[in-house]
C-alpha cells in the first residue's frame, strides 16, 4: 500500500467515496475533492432511487431479476427520470431549449445513448441500495454520528456543488462542508444541476478544471 494518497477526487457517488476514504483513512489522505457529494443519503435521494428501481422492475422483461435481455422500455423511462428530471434543472432546460418541444428529441437521444452504453439493471439496483445506505457516520467508531465523522477528516478538502441539485440536495452538500475542519465550499456557476459535475459539459468542465487546478497547486 502507498504510504499516502495525495488527493482522492470523485463526483456524486465518487464524491461520497472520497469522504469515506477521508474518514476511514484520515492519516493516509492528504487532500480530497468531492463534487455534488453526500455525507449521509437523505430521504429525497432515497426516494429518487426507489422510483428508479420501480421503473426498471415494472418492465415485464425484468423477470424478477432473472432477465435474458435488458428491459429496453424500462431503460428509456429510467433515462427520462435520472438523466433529465433529476440531473438537470428547469432553468437549464429552458435555456437549452427556447422551443420547449425540442426537448423531446433530445430526451430520445439520451435514451438511445443509455441503451448503447450497455447498462445492467441488477447492477443499478445494487448500486442504488448501496447509495441509500451511505452514511460516513457508520464508519469506524463514530456510532452513526455523521457530524463527528466529518470533523475527523484532516485532509485538505474541496467541495463543489451547483446552486440547485435535484438528486443530492444542495443544502446537504453545504452542510457537510461546514462540518469539515479544513475545507472550502465553492459553488459551480451552472444551471445544469447534478450534471454540473459531468466532464462532458464543456463550460462547466472549463470552470472545474480552473478551480480544481488552483486547489491542487496549493497542496
End residue of a domain, out of 96, 130, 164:
130
Same domain, 95 and 144: no
pLDDT at 41 over 70: yes
Please report the pLDDT score of residue 213 as a whole number.
97
Same domain, 32 and 77: no
Residue 3 lies in a domain: no
Which CATH number does the domain housing residue 179 bear? 3.40.50.1820
Please report the pLDDT score of residue 3 as a whole number.
79
Please report the pLDDT score of residue 71 as a whole number.
93
Residue of 98 and 202 predicted with greater confidence: 98
Chain segment 29-40, per-residue pLDDT in tens = 999 999 999 999
pLDDT at 48 over 70: yes
Chain segment 102-132, per-residue pLDDT in tens = 999 999 999 999 999 999 999 999 999 999 9
Beta strand segments in the chain, E? 8-11, 31-35, 156-161, 183-187
Looking at the structure of the chain, the number of domains it has is: 2
Q: CA–CA separation, 70 vs 59, rounded Å?
A: 10
Please report the pLDDT score of residue 14 as a whole number.
97
Same domain, 27 and 102: no
Same domain, 162 and 56: no
End residue of a domain, out of 106, 130, 154:
130
Nearest residue to 112 (alpha-carbon basis) of 152, 84, 143, 72: 72
Please report the pLDDT score of residue 1 as a whole number.
61
Chain segment 163-198, per-residue pLDDT in tens = 999 999 999 999 999 999 999 999 999 999 999 998
Expressed as residue numbers, the domain containing 213 is 8-40+134-217
pLDDT at 2 over 90: no
Same domain, 99 and 150: no
Instruction: State the average pLDDT for the chain.
Output: 95
Same domain, 84 and 120: yes
Please report the pLDDT score of residue 160 as a whole number.
97
Please report the pLDDT score of residue 26 as a whole number.
85
DSSP the chain: --S-BS-EEEETHHHHHHHHHHHHTTTTBSEEEEES--SB--HHHHHHHHHHHHHHHTSGGGGGG--SS--HHHHHHHHIIIIIITTS-HHHHHHH-SSGGGHHHHHHHHHHHHHHHT--HHHHHHHHHHHHH-BGGGSTT-TT-HHHHHHT--SEEEEEE-S--SSS-HHHHHHHHHH-TTEEEEE---SSGGGGG-TTSHHHHHHHHHHHHHHHHT-
Same domain, 50 and 123: yes
Amino acid at each position: 500500500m502507498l504510504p499516502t494518497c495525495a488527493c482522492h477526487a470523485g463526483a456524486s457517488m465518487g464524491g461520497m467515496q472520497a469522504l469515506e476514504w477521508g474518514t476511514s483513512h484520515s492519516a493516509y489522505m492528504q487532500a480530497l475533492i468531492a463534487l455534488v457529494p453526500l455525507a449521509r443519503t437523505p430521504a429525497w435521494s432515497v426516494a429518487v432511487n426507489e422510483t428508479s428501481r420501480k421503473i426498471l422492475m415494472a418492465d415485464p422483461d425484468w423477470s424478477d431479476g432473472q432477465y435474458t435481455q435488458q428491459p429496453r422500455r424500462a431503460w428509456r423511462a429510467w433515462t427520462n427520470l435520472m438523466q433529465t428530471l433529476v440531473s438537470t434543472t428547469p432553468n437549464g432546460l429552458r435555456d437549452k431549449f427556447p422551443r420547449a418541444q425540442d426537448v423531446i428529441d433530445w430526451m430520445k437521444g439520451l435514451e438511445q445513448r443509455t441503451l448503447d452504453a450497455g447498462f445492467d439493471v441488477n447492477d443499478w439496483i445494487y448500486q442504488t441500495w448501496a447509495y441509500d445506505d451511505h452514511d460516513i457516520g457508520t464508519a469506524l467508531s463514530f456510532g452513526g454520528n455523521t457530524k463527528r465523522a466529518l470533523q475527523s477528516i484532516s485532509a485538505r478538502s474541496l467541495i463543489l456543488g451547483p446552486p440547485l441539485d435535484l438528486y443530492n440536495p444542495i443544502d446537504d452538500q453545504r452542510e457537510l462542508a461546514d462540518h469539515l475542519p479544513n475545507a472550502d465550499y465553492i459553488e459551480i456557476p451552472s444551471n445544469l444541476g447534478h450534471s454540473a459535475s459531468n466532464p462532458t459539459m464543456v463550460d462547466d468542465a472549463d470552470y472545474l478544471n480552473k478551480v480544481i487546478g488552483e486547489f491542487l497547486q496549493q497542496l
